[in-house]
Structure formats: structure tokens, C-alpha cells
Chain A
């Protein structure tokens, strides 16, 4: 079984400031890692994912995340946020094989970007 912990439930930042949303996971097997964004009244959108290879993953909208196996973390970063980045962000993990697609989500982090 897997579990995901997002360490911050809310993160307020000013526009053009950098931001880091923290995510830690635990699993007894190798996992795939994902970050999703949910805008109000919309479905989840994939920001980025780590399946294998380079531990630094670049996604859409200028976001990136780094997989750290020793610290079991997958923190999401953006060097300069915009008002439009205001949304809720979910970190998720999935095992491979027949369990791929069955996602375990973190509690979510609400990012609020202030002008």
C-alpha cells in the first residue's frame, strides 16, 4: 500500500515569487509519482509525472518537480508564480503493473497567489 502526505494545506504567495509545494510518500514497492492541479469547478489536470529516468521532471505552466528517493519526496516548484496559478494541487502515487492508474492522492495544497 502507498500513502502520500502533502505537508502544507495552504500556501499563500505573492505574484512573481517562487513557490515550493511539498510532497512525501511511502510505499513498499516502486511507484510512479504525479502532480495534478484542480482549478475551481474543473477536473484534475496533469502537471507532470515521474516514471523513471531523470529525477528532475519538467511539466506544464513552468512547474517542475524533483524525485528524491532517499527522502521519499517529490516536491513541486515554480520559480515565479502568476495569479492564474491559484488552484489546488494534488500529489499522487501509483504502483506499476496492473495497479497503474489506481492513484493514491495526498490531501491537497491550496496555492493562493496574491497581487
Chain B
């Protein structure tokens, strides 16, 4: 079946630094990918829709200048958490749709110290 990968699987960074997370569709092309965030003991919340070749669409309350999304190709979307702070520590998950079915990446755990 279709596979979505994320890199890195986990990252620890200092407050104020930027972190880039990659999401790749390994065996299919995805014009649209989605980025979710999951805080401990909470559900996944949609952050933004990543569109290949155009600007991402952010959900209400998500700062677009803080969470930069670039959908550089049909198989790659990146999420950059700029000037990360401890409150940005979370589990970030991407997904991509292929033939009407949603495939999720394994997630990236971010810890900001």
C-alpha cells in the first residue's frame, strides 16, 4: 500500500531555533498533504493543508509565519517551526491522500527546551 514517511522521527532543539520536518509520499504523488499536531493526551488537530505549487491553507488559530509550509514537489512537503518555543513541543503528523484514501506518516516528536 501507499507509504508516507517523515523525517526526522524525533528532534530536540533549543528555544529560539528553527526546525524543519519533512513529509514524503514514497510511492505515489500527492498534490495535497495535510499537517496535524497532537499534544500529549489530546487528539490530532489539523494545522494546515499543503498544496503543491501554491500557498498552504492554514486552519484558524495557526500562525502561518511560525509554521512555514513548503510543498516543493508532488512527493515532498516540509513544515518549518520557526523560532520554536517550549509550547511548540508536540507530535507533528502529516498525511497524504491517494485514490481517495488518507495515508499518515509515523509522526515527528518535537521537544523544545
Kindly list chain A residues whose C-beta atoms are within 8 Å of the C-beta of B45. Answer: 105
Interface size on A, residues (CB 8 A): 18
Compute how far the CA of A90 lies from the CA of B46 in the bound complex, rounded to whole angstroms: 14
- Asked if B106 contacts A101 (CB within 8 A), the reply is no
A107 and B42 in contact, given A46-B102, A101-B32 (Cβ under 8 angstroms): yes
- How many residue pairs link A and B with beta carbons under 8 A? The number is 46
Across the interface, name the chain B residue whose C-beta is closest to A108.
Answer: B43
- Asked if A103 contacts B106 (CB within 8 A), the reply is no
Interface size class of B (residues with CB under 8 A): 20 to 34
Across the interface, name the chain A residue whose C-beta is closest to B10.
Answer: A41
Kindly list chain A residues whose C-beta atoms are within 8 Å of the C-beta of B104. Answer: 36, 43-45
A43 and B93 in contact, given A101-B102, A102-B34 (Cβ under 8 angstroms): yes
* A100 contacts partner chain B, Cβ-Cβ < 8 Å: yes
* Nearest chain A CB to B45 CB, angstrom units: 7
Compute how far the CA of A108 lies from the CA of B105 in the bound complex, rounded to whole angstroms: 18
Kindly list chain A residues whose C-beta atoms are within 8 Å of the C-beta of B42. Answer: 107-108
Query: Lowest 10 CB-CB distances: which A-B pairs, in order?
Result: A44-B104, A43-B106, A105-B43, A43-B104, A101-B97, A105-B44, A107-B43, A108-B43, A43-B105, A102-B46
